[in-house]
Amino acid sequence: MTATLVLVAAEVLGGFLGRSVALLNDAVHNLSDVPALGISWLAMRWAERPADADKTYGYHRAGTLAAFTNAILLVILSLWLGYEAIERLRSPVEVVESWMIWTSLAALMVNGGITLALVRGHSDLNLRSILVHNFGDALSNIAIIAGAVIMYYTHVQWIDPLLGLAIGLLVLYSSIGILRESAHILLEGRPPGTRVEEVARAILTIEHVQEVHDVHIWSLGGAHNALSCHVRVPDMHMDECEKTLRAIQKKVAADFGIEHVTVQIERAGLPATSGYVMPVPMRKS
């Protein structure tokens, strides 16, 4: 966060002295990383907290909520950057290429270093939102350097606002994917790569399980997935029911990575007027 704040100050100074809208846009973009880094750091601390009487599932979705918030901020920011770039395209301003080059080289060192430090956490949605932030920043720094060199030799001033517009589009594209994925988790969507039918058929392979219905699968955030379902079994002793339950838990954990499993064992089966996700229950053939 400290390095990013210093970088923002340098880019604002370089943008004004060099009259570069691309540098100023990139400075605003980098400034958005400061609250993003703070929110993500706070979310990581929250995610480590155990479940309590108020948050019975724990705080696993704190990182997802942070990624969702960051993505919304980025979408708004990218639209603003695009508008400013279009205005500059209408009224081009002569820029000082040397300020663009040296400021962007310093920015590239900072953003490149942060990106490399975050690569190992790319599987975490919260860290990936920060990784996308800084990787996009590094790419925009390279583009600004290349554009400044071209402008120095060609004196074509519209390259600067065109770069600003490209940076805005890059931010918009990268943030929409994170927004979609984080919203899917917050709306209790099923984990990617996990299909309700496949999980139900796997449960049907367990001895004594005759029917599976009312299946719900969702993600708590990160690699923490949950499942709830009803299974019909024949009339048998409680000890056998517990063995069946443990077998289901072991099966879905091994095959689908679902660690939190809630199973209601019953003898009657699915009601005729059910409005569940699987209105036609899966039964053994």
For each of the chain's 285 residues, which pLDDT tens digit applies?
Answer: 788 788 888 888 887 887 777 777 777 767 767 766 776 676 667 767 777 777 767 777 777 787 788 788 878 877 877 887 787 778 766 777 777 788 888 888 887 887 777 776 555 666 666 777 677 778 778 888 888 888 888 878 788 778 778 877 877 877 788 788 888 888 888 888 888 889 998 999 998 888 888 889 988 776 788 999 999 888 888 888 899 999 999 999 999 989 889 999 887 655 555 554 444 566 766
Q: What is the pLDDT of residue 279?
A: 43
SS percent in the chain: helix, strand, coil, step 5: 65, 10, 25
- Side-chain half-sphere exposure of 49, counting CA atoms within 13 A: 17
Angle among Cα 245, 193, 199 to the nearest 5 degrees reads: 25
| Residue 221 pLDDT | 72
User: Residue 264's CB: how many other CB atoms inside 10 A?
Assistant: 12
CB 272: neighbour CB atoms within 10 A?
A: 6
Question: Looking at residue 271, what is its pLDDT?
Answer: 56
Residue for token digits 């931010």? 171
Q: Kindly state the tokens that stand for 222.
A: 């990160």
Q: What is the pTM of this model?
A: 0.64
Pairing between strand 260-266 and 224-232? parallel
